[in-house]
Structure 1
Amino acid sequence: MPMHALAALALVIASPVLAACDPLQYVDPLIGSTNSGNVFPGASRPYGMAKAVADVDGQNTGGFATDGSNVTGFSAMHDSGTGGNPSLGNFPLFPQLCPGDELNACNFRIGDRKVGYRNDSVVARPGHFKVGLQNGIAAELTVADHTAVMRFEFPLGEGGDGTSQEHPLILLDLTDLWQSRQNATVAVDPETGRMKGNGTFLPSFGAGSYVLHYCVDFFGAKVFDSGVWVNSRAGNEPKELFVTRGFNLFYNEAGGFVRFQNLSDKSVTARVGVSFVSADQACRNAEIEVPDPIGSFSALVRSAEDAWREKLRPVSVAAGGADKSLLVSLYSGLYRAMMSPQNYTGENPYWDSGIPYFDSFYCIWDSFRVQHPLLTVIDPEAQSQMLASLLDIYKHEGWLPDCRMSLCKGWTQGGSNADVVLVDGFVKNFTTRIDWSLALEAIVNDAENEPLEWSYEGRGGLQSWKRLNYIPYLDYDPNGYGTNSRSISRTLEYAYDDFCLARLADGLGRKDLHAKYLARSANWQHLWRPDQKSLINGTDTGFTGFFQPKYLNGTWGYQDPIACSALADFCSLTTNPSETFEASIWQYQFIVPQSVSTLIDLLGGDEDFIRRLNFFHTSGLADISNEPVFLTVYLYHYAGRPALSTERIHTYVPASFNATNGGLPGNDDSGAMGSFLFFSMTGLFPVAGQNVYLISAPFFEEVRVKNPVTGKTATVRAKGFDPGYKNMYIQSATVDGQPWQKSWITHDLFTEGRTLELVLGDKESDWGTKLEDRPPSWTAGTRTV
């Protein structure tokens, strides 16, 4: 047989070749660094507390943006992909050369010192960030777990003796990105230049305040002079400063500074240690993690890169000719999903239970749907620690968090969504570290007991929920206090929370609780108004039946079904509060994951359901930039048309999700957007809180995921794959060689290392269309699977 024929035969017999490559080559931290993606593009380790980057005065929620704005400082603490106010960015350093080498000629205030950066100078890689400023100063940053290292290179001239006659200045600003500082301190050591202190700040999306401590040391130069500054003036004395918010809340800008001489290689290296416990601990963190900041800079970068490789290595892909940019989108999404929650072990000043402590669950309303299910697949060890940490917070604070950042309670956006995260782990057989009896107690507490302040924990309106079986419009709730809005979306979310609670109770043998909460999970139907119509610009959409708000007395209120959509005004907690949160009634009508079959019946059956889904996704009503829309892309499975789910995701990828700096449709929400993209590209979409993955055609010829705990490898293989995606329809499927007709599969695909092989073709088939092959849906009718 000729050699070329042998080669062809080998290709037929063998599975697709997965290139042995460095996954970091496909990671671009700048995806989402503009177009309001709000990603953190700087240096971090997986789940790391220290996150170093240049801060700008433009789209600075994540610190830096590629929007052409100005650099205002370099700081060591950030969150990634959050919305609302900029988060953290505390105690930024700012390097400069003062005109005439005069201290009083330096620019201290943010508005005076800001400077543009050169677009072609930006380098962002895992664990490493570089940028050149338009004034000639260059910065290079890397991190350890609680320490940032910042190397500043100055464009120094030389005197007659070969040394510079200029004395570069590095200031520390006692502020954060939001300028929320309430008070702060700095003390400058005149001999070494070490700066120590702390500040009290407000969380960017929550209640209370937090205290953060810092310790900054400088290397590679000698101290020329030092002191403190307030607003636009500085002096060499005193060496210590305490600053408050200011008279009548006028914001005083203030901090410390050091000027340098005898620079090595025209650069000064700053080592920034941070701690929520004390400045001394910040110093210890820095000294232990980075004893030699200059000599170990490259080693720190390599260590961060190795840590990221270890986290990304479980996923390997045979692209099958798919565009490289799709691989970049896939791995970059994985990368961002492991930015937060952040590992604050040893940095919780309130308690130490002797287990890993995670913070920055920012916010679970955004992350429970896809980000935590993704960590369950690719990093179950970390996800298990996060579940234990949620329960640890419950033990010490009395409530599961719904949102948390900087050790503060974040605002609750809808239901008690930590319930879903915990139950998702339970149904996927997480056993280590998790006290499931304690989890049941915590979730029952959410379901039964209303906190005084349900704006940042638990659920509000439970008196009405238990008596009326819905959250009323303009509820009377004397038992607790929160934003009295979102009656429709809270009703839907509470119903799903109760469904998840029922699943946990059933699994733990509590049949009484199972029956009670399963019945409550049907409460969403009480806000269904079968005769409600919807108009767009005065034209009837042709669809009847929508959720509507209902008063305490049972009479109907009204909210336009298109309100809060992309065709109307955005609705949030603070701007235009409405009866749905951050999405329209059109979008929320599909958010019944426990009972989609009942919803299909309410909407008139399979064909009417599909017609309504199609209209939703093609009329401008669907907001792909926000999490409630995610599952709607795949709801065609429940109507027996899984091929349409595959068609639908291809309308969003790569149009709204791509490998450009503006390649996210909106706020990344702590990795939620990247997690949605990962599952969509691999052809397995999770239904959070259920042991269900909806199967669709993948974007690559083969994807493998090695379980880091069991060591077994799950494989999704597409036979007949073509990179032009003409063959996007599943014709048949096998699991470990056996025929598989169901349009969904369970988590043991990953834990047991099964192989899902999909045969693709260019036309829709009858695979997965039969009633018995559809995803499970709880109902009293015959659709139950």
Structure 2
Amino acid sequence: MISKKFVLFFSIFTLYLQAQNYSQYVNPFIGTGGHGHTFPGAIVPFGMVQLSPDTRIDGSWDGCSGYHYSDSVIYGFSHTHLNGTGVSDYGDIMLMPTMGVPGLTPKEYSSKFSHKNEKAMAGFYSVKLDKHNIDVRLTTTKRVGYHEYTFNKAGNANIILDLNHRDKLLEGEVKIIDDKTIEVFRRSEAWATNQYIYARIEFSKPMKISKEFLNGEKIDGISEGKKKVSFNGDKLALAFTSAVKKGEKISVKVSISPTGYEGAGKNMLAEGKSNDFETIKKQAEADWNKELSKIEVKSHDKDKLTVFYTALYHVFTQPNINMDVDGKYRGRDNKFYMAKDFDYYTVFSLWDTFRGAHPLMTLIDRKRTADFINTFIKQREQGGKLPVWELASNETECMIGYHSVSVIADAMAKGITGFDYEKAFEASKNSAMLDIFGLNAYKQNNYISIDDEHESVSKTVEYAYDDWCIAQMAKILNKKEDYQHFMKRSQNWKNLYNPNNGFMQARKNGNWYEPFDPSEVNNNYTEGNSWHYSYSVPQDIPGLIQAHGGRAKFEQFIDAIFAASDKTTGREQVDITGLMGQYAQGNEPSHHIAYLYNFVDRPQKTEAKIKYILDNFYKNSPDGLIGNEDCGQMSAWYILSTMGIYSVTPGKPEWETVTPYFDEIKLHLEDGTTRIITKNTPKSELKHLGFENVKVAKDLKYPEQTASPVIAADRLFDFSTQVKITPLNEKDKVYYMTMDEDDANVRKTFKVYKEPFTISKTTQVSTYAERNGEKSGITTANFNRRPNHWDITINSSVNPQYTAGGKFAVIDGIYGDVNWRKGEWQGYQGQTFEAIIDFKSPQQINQISSTYLQDSRAWILMPKKVEYYASMDGKTFILLKTLENSIDPKDTNVQVKDFSTEVLPTEARYLKVKAYHYGKLPEWHQGAGGDAYVFVDEISVK
């Protein structure tokens, strides 16, 4: 007989267990709709396997994760997926159950499904495939995916393995070990251009190959008395078949490895022994509860609890463990190494995650933070530099900056140990001293101009922040000279701050780039516009406030971004979402801006903005994220802000604060302590939450940067132009020097600038400013006397983004760089380019050329053909020559082609150039159906 006391105790204990079941609040469908780009499949925290359905195989933007909630067809279940990225990849080792005669094309093996028959929770996913009435259940460990297929009809059951699923297969191999075991190798190309994955697949019952599709070879061999078959090729799909009774289940276990078949085998032995699906499902749930319990939130609103714990779930989705159970991993140099005393990871979306996700981890997962940094250090040793956006042992070079240094500096500033500070510092310094992505110009001139590199404003301000991070490391390590050097560099934002309007503005040829519209999205900014980047000085907010003229004026400037129109101009940028005025919660550059009110003593305005965002932009629905999840950053912002904290400046052991969103939050930290946060917790206590005992290194002196002057004149002039030089600080003394074609052998020196001067030849002007003995970088500009006095009429409509400064740009003698984003090319979309040059008087034509650019990925294709015509009256034209294009539109190399030809000597006053556009982008192109561009620069005639 069971006593009443026992029943009472058991009931209380059961309630306690339920209270600890935080995974019950996870809704993996959040973010699978809208533009969240998440996936709903089975995962465990930071696991190598992400076992999820794929409803998209075309690499489309809203299909980056492989799944979108608006879809109704499943193509299969693959074992790797990306969480909320803006570029498509992964989807490796795809399996799909079918019945009847097997088909090996996506159309044949895909199936309709309904969300009514779909379920997703932490560590588990299930769905009914309508086509053949098959129930699918998925769960996983870190390295092994577990499938359970229930065939609700009797007949032949098939399991399709298609290695051509989603991205491009470079090499594939399937080895039949026995009738229940196969091994798979897949090397593919997508965002990660050289990705290796190996798998061991074990079926619960014998399966035979019933259909094969391959472009390669099939090899039969004898080994240990058993027949083994191996399939190789770059097109490879197989069907495995067995007869089943009605209601029969087939279970499949898939272990994966980045290193080889041996690694996949070891991973299977370690994590794939169980044949009990429910046990693995419960273990996955327990793994999630262990991680999610680090933050306990109390609320009577279940939707808010769901949004919170799903956000935490998304933060813990990646980075992903990327080593075998014995520590073996594939390094950035494609060689194999053993991780000792740390775990090796992949998927570092650092441009996004340095802002909130990594600072959150310094609070609740310090050990894993050290592992991330040890991974960074190894990647630098094996690949040459710290990761920027690393994926599957590939550096994608996606996005900008070298934000690994932010993660490192933040960890060091917060006293996290477990990695070599000296190695981390040297690796960080190495990234800052490279000559790539505009860094060379940045180091020489203290800023990047349009002439040097595209996205020049964003790169300048983000490099400056990263330099501050390196300076903080140097300060901790007592490296005084390095500290001073990088603190001076961290002020480089001053060179792009226009004191006349308060915005970060691009510079071109020494001057401010005009016309200027802070709402314009163009190639001077990364996924944004000047509004988004004009607040991007997290390392020196007091300096930015001072530049604006004090707190009152800076408060007005923060007000302005929220009060501005919510319409952007220029290029359409799908990432810019969640607009409040020009503030964009859906993309990372805005994430700290609302907290800047704290710096001007207006915390009530921070309170209002943060609460509005928390209330309106995060919801318990598939479209519940206002923008791309971006590997946890969108969710990390939510988690931190609900706790009443945010890291405006990662690298400082402190938070900016706001009133906590929930009534009570408990933080369980790694040192065994618990912190309780309520709406009444003092802001002073929140400011150093988790880092109360961190020792802060003393500040050292460093030089103040002097900003570089601007040079204004007509870049292209007929006979003469006036040159005016203006310092960005009226206290600066300005020096300048000129060089023209007659000065080649003349030694020139800088002299004091007093007033504007006139030039009448093609001239280079250099200038710098000096204040208190500190010199600015040298600004250099080139002003060109026109090489001709022709006129030109262009009978096509130029895209406003790609004007190159006006119609004379195509006959000014200045050739555009292969990096077209610098702005020297004229772009025409969906139309043939036609221009008529008026020489003003008849001249003899012997040779004609016009230059075009191809960047197939950017929709820019060579013209199909170019025609040259001559005329004396500008009305009647005679065809001189037709030149056909010879460059394949599928050639993705960015390249320039000169359509040059000699013609029989012809006298003419007018020359017509027609460049026929490619037309609609074909099916093979990612932008299929869109209009291709013609990009033209220089037309020359001899």
CA distance in 2, matches of 1:373, 1:27: 22
Query: What TM-score do you get using the length of structure 2 for normalisation?
Result: 0.65
Structure 1 residues 64 and 463: CA distance shift in structure 2, 3 A = closer
Match of 2:613 among 647, 652, 655: 652
> Where does residue 45 of structure 1 map in the other structure?
44
Listed one character per residue, the Cα deviations across residues 701-724 of structure 1 (whole Å, up to 9, x for unaligned) are: 12121112x1111222224xxxxx
1:513/1:309 Cα in 2 relative to 1: closer, same or farther (>3 Å)? Answer: same
C-alpha separation between the residues in 2 aligned to 1:691 and 1:489? 25
Equivalent of 1:411 in 385, 394, 397: 397
Deviation at 1:19, TM superposition (A): 9.9
Tell whether the 8 Å contact from 1:149 to 1:269 is kept in structure 2 after alignment. Answer: yes
How far apart, CA to CA, are the structure 2 residues paired with 1:694 and 1:507? 22
Q: CA deviation at 1:20?
A: 4.1
**1:550 aligned residue:** 507
Unaligned runs of 5+ in 1: 1-16, 157-163, 245-251, 455-459, 476-483, 532-543, 566-570, 572-577, 720-732, 753-777
Instruction: Give the Cα–Cα distance (whole angstroms) in 2 for the partners of residues 779 and 117 of structure 1.
Output: 64
Q: Find the counterpart in structure 2 of residue 72 from structure 1.
A: 75
Residues 121, 418 of structure 1: alpha-carbon distance in 2 compared, 3 angstrom cutoff:
same
User: What SS class does the counterpart of residue 502 from structure 2 fall into?
Assistant: strand
Give the TM-score normalised by the residue count of structure 1.
0.78
Of 679, 687, 695 in structure 2, the residue corresponding to residue 745 of structure 1 is: 687
AA matched with 2:317: M
SS in structure 1 at match of 2:348: coil
Give a deviation string over 1:124-173, Cα, whole Å, max 9, x none: 111111111222111100111211111111121xxxxxxx3x11111100
Structure 1 residue 77 displacement after superposition? 1.5
Question: What does 1:67-106 correspond to in 2, within 5 Å?
Answer: 67-85=70-88, 87-98=89-100, 103=101, 106=102
Report if aligned partners of 1:137, 1:154 keep a CA contact under 8 Å in 2: yes
In the alignment, which residue of structure 2 is the partner of 1:54?
Answer: 53
Structure 2 residue 609 is the aligned partner of structure 1 residue 609: no
**Local SS of the residue matching 2:656:** strand
Q: Establish whether residue 24 from structure 1 lines up as the match of residue 6 from structure 2.
A: no
Q: Does 1:229 align with 2:219?
A: no
Alignment of 1:273-352 (within 5 A): 273-293=255-275, 296-319=276-299, 321=300, 323-346=301-324, 347-349=328-330, 350=335, 351-352=337-338
Cα distance change, pair 187–228 in 1 and its aligned pair in 2 (3 A) = farther
Supply the distance in 1 between the matched residues of 2:263 and 2:344 (Cα, whole angstroms).
18
Q: How many residues align?
A: 645
Amino acid at match of 2:440: Q
Structure 1 residue matching 2:51: 3-state secondary structure: strand
Instruction: Deviation per CA, 1:682-715: give whole Å up to 9, x if none.
Output: 111113222220111111112121112x111122
Say yes or no: does 1:374 pair with 2:368.
no
1:196 to 179, 183, 190: 183
Match of 2:175 among 187, 195, 198: 187
CA distances 1:629-654 after superposition (whole Å, capped 9, x unpaired): 10012111111111111100122223
d(CA) in 2 for partners of 1:69, 1:616: 40
Q: Are 2:479 and 1:510 equivalent residues in the alignment?
A: yes
> C-alpha distance in 2, partners of 1:396/1:609?
45
Contact conserved, 2:356 with 2:636, CA < 8 A, in 1?
Answer: yes
Residue 89 of structure 1, CA deviation: 0.8
User: Judging changes above 3 Å, is the alpha-carbon distance between structure 1 residues 520 and 92 closer, same or farther for their aligned structure 2 residues?
Assistant: same
Higher relative contact order (CA 8 A, sep 6+): 1
1:122 is matched with: 118
How far is 1:523 from its partner? Answer: 0.8
Q: Quote the RMSD (CA, aligned, Å).
A: 2.7
2:280 maps to a residue whose letter is L
Pick from 415, 427, 432 the counterpart of residue 447 of structure 1. Answer: 432
Query: What's the counterpart of residue 243 of structure 1?
Result: 233
Name the CA shift for 1:624/1:173 in 2 (closer, same or farther; >3 Å). Answer: same
Letter in 2 for 1:328: T
Q: What amino acid sits opposite 1:617 in the alignment? A: F
Indicate whether 1:526 and 2:495 are aligned.
Answer: yes
Letter in 2 for 1:580: Y
> Structure 1 residue 175: deviation in Å?
2.3
Q: Is the 8 A contact 2:258 2:323 kept in 1?
A: no
Structure with bigger strand share is 2
Secondary structure of 1:558's aligned partner = coil
Shift of 1:750: 6.9
Q: Partners in 1 of 2:515 and 2:232 — Cα distance?
A: 51
Instruction: Give me the whole-angstrom Cα distance separating, in 2, the residues matched to 1:154 and 1:751.
Output: 59
Q: Residue in 1 aligned with 2:669? A: 707
Unmatched tracts of structure 2, length 5 or more: 1-15, 221-226, 567-581, 695-701, 706-942
User: Aligned partners of 1:745 and 1:655: how far apart in 2?
Assistant: 26
CA shift, 1:379, in A, is 1.5
Q: Which residue number in structure 2 is paired with residue 111 of structure 1?
A: 107
Aligned CA distance change for structure 1 residues 120 and 630 (closer, same or farther; 3 Å): same
Letter in 1 for 2:306: V
Match of 2:148 in 1: 151
Change in Cα spacing, 1:388 to 1:115, as seen in structure 2 (3 Å) is same
Distance 2:465 2:198 in 1: 40
Alignment check: 8 A CA contact 1:127 1:142 kept: yes
The range that moved more, 115-124 or 607-616, is 607-616
1:579-637 CA-partner distances (Å, limit 9, x unpaired): 11011111100010011122223234323322332231243212211111100121111
Contact 1:549 1:559 in 2 (8 A): no
Counterpart check, 1:597 vs 2:542:
yes
**TM-fit CA distance, 1:235:** 14
- Helix, strand or coil at the partner of 1:169: strand
1:520 shift after superposition: 1.2
Distance change >3 Å, CA 385–CA 610, structure 1 → 2: same
Partner of 1:272: 254
What is the letter of the counterpart of residue 430 of structure 2?
A: N
- Alpha carbons of 1:630 and 1:185: their partners in 2 closer, same or farther (altered >3 Å)? same
Match of 1:181, SS state, is strand
Match of 2:349 among 357, 360, 363: 363
CA-CA distance at 1:287 after TM superposition: 3.3
Q: Secondary structure at the match of 1:651?
A: helix
Quote the offset at 1:188 in angstroms. Answer: 3.2
Deviations 1:353-396 (A, max 9, x none): 42434333331001100011111112111112111111121122
Q: Which one is further off, 359-368 or 673-682? A: 359-368
Say if 1:68 and 1:227 are closer, same or farther in 2 by CA, change over 3 A.
closer
Cα deviation 1:548-599 (Å, max 9, x = unaligned): 2223x5222236444555xxxxx6xxxxxx1110111111000100111222
* Cα separation, 2, equivalents of 1:324 and 1:564: 41
Which amino acid in structure 2 is aligned with residue 343 of structure 1? I
Q: What SS does structure 2 have at the residue aligned with 1:638?
A: helix
- SS of residue in 2 equivalent to 1:654: helix
Distance 1:184 1:406 in 2: 17
Please give the alpha-carbon distance, in whole angstroms, between the structure 2 residues aligned to 1:271 and 1:21: 30
Deviation at 1:317, TM superposition (A): 2.0
With over 3 angstroms needed to count, the CA separation of the structure-2 counterparts of 1:514 and 1:66, relative to structure 1, is same
Match of 1:724 in 2: none
Give the Cα–Cα distance (whole angstroms) in 2 for the partners of residues 357 and 238 of structure 1: 36
The answer on whether the counterparts of 1:79 and 1:360 sit within 8 Å (CA) in structure 2 is no
Percent sequence identity over aligned pairs: 24
Counterpart of 2:198, as a letter, is H
Q: Distance in 1 between matches of 2:545 and 2:421?
A: 34
Asked if 2 retains the 8 angstrom alpha-carbon contact of 1:188 and 1:227, the reply is no
Give, as a single letter, the amino acid of the residue that structure 1 aligns with 2:67: F
Q: Which amino acid aligns with 1:649?
A: I
Give the letter for the 2:90 counterpart.
L
Looking at structure 1, the residues matched to 303 and 475 of structure 2 have their Cα atoms a distance apart, in angstroms, of 44
Q: Does the CA-based 8 Å contact 1:403-1:412 persist in structure 2?
A: yes
| Cα distance in 2 for residues equivalent to 1:274 and 1:369 | 31
Q: How does 1:551-700 map to 2 (within 5 A)?
A: 551=508, 554-558=510-514, 560-563=516-519, 565=521, 578-618=523-563, 619-620=565-566, 621-687=582-648, 688-700=650-662
